[in-house]
Homo-oligomer: A and B are copies of this chain.
Amino acid sequence: MATTHIVKSYDNDLNRLSYLIQEMGKLADRQLSAAIEAIQSRDNEKAEHTRAGDAVIDALEDELNELTLNILALRQPMASDLRLIIGSMKIARDLERIGDYAANLAKRTRTLNANSPLGLTDQLVHMGGLVQPLLKTALDGFMRQDTALVSDIVGMDDAVDALYKKLINDLMDYMQSNPKDVVACTNLLFMAKNFERIGDRATNIAENVYFIVEGTLPHAMRQKQK
């Protein structure tokens, strides 16, 4: 029957959409782990590998964008399906950017060496450790379409922001007393910024999960990005 076939293929499209988000999420999470490990171990080879993986996320985003356009043009989705499609497109963008931030973190790892300030590098690794569960929680929220999970994210991101501010201040203090380490510290500054932005992007993802489920944006999550 043609109708069943059409409906079935529509379901397949929506399943594929969710699958692509999950795959992108897994890859972004893996890139982030690898970047954190590369910082911790100052392993340039791992860092190079992390950067290469970024292209796969980009390709998945391209596929997702094409798929969403096709669904919109051919299926004329309504209500919650429409929100899933629009929300997924936005989440894919955030995941693609998280992949970019992880690649940039890996790239900057090469500038760290045995002389880089150890305590500050440890703080950066700690910051990465706070960001990672934020991304996992947001992705879990998407998988389970769970808005309760998602509301934890604002508090988690506040902790990331607090550590970010502390680390920037510590880095400025350190550079004032150790001007020979300015280059390493400048890289640490931008690496801290990358983690902070990953936290904001994970918060965006949570915001879009809420939108997909509820049809509105959660008020508490607005105005996070200044």
Contact = CB atoms under 8 A, between A and B. Distances in A.
A49 to B, nearest CB: 15
A176 B181 CA distance: 8
B176 A182 contact: yes
A226 to B, nearest CB: 6
Contacts of A79: 73
Interface in A72-120: 72-73, 76-79, 82-83, 86, 89-90, 93, 97, 100, 103-104, 107
A179 interface: yes
Interface residues of A, number: 41
B78 A73 contact: yes
A226 B172 contact: no
Given A73-B79, A82-B72, A193-B190, A175 B168 contact: no
A13 to B, nearest CB: 16
Contacts of A72: 72, 77, 82, 86
A189 B168 CA distance: 12
Interface in A51-80: 54, 58, 62, 68-69, 72-73, 76-79
A225 interface: yes
Contacts of A5: none
Contact of A86 (B69, B97, B223): B69
A90 to B, nearest CB: 8
The 8 closest A-B pairs by CB, nearest first: A179-B179, A76-B76, A175-B182, A176-B182, A176-B179, A172-B182, A100-B225, A172-B186
15 contacts: A69-B82, A69-B83, A72-B72, A72-B86, A90-B93, A93-B93, A97-B225, A100-B226, A171-B186, A172-B186, A175-B182, A176-B180, A176-B183, A186-B189, A193-B193
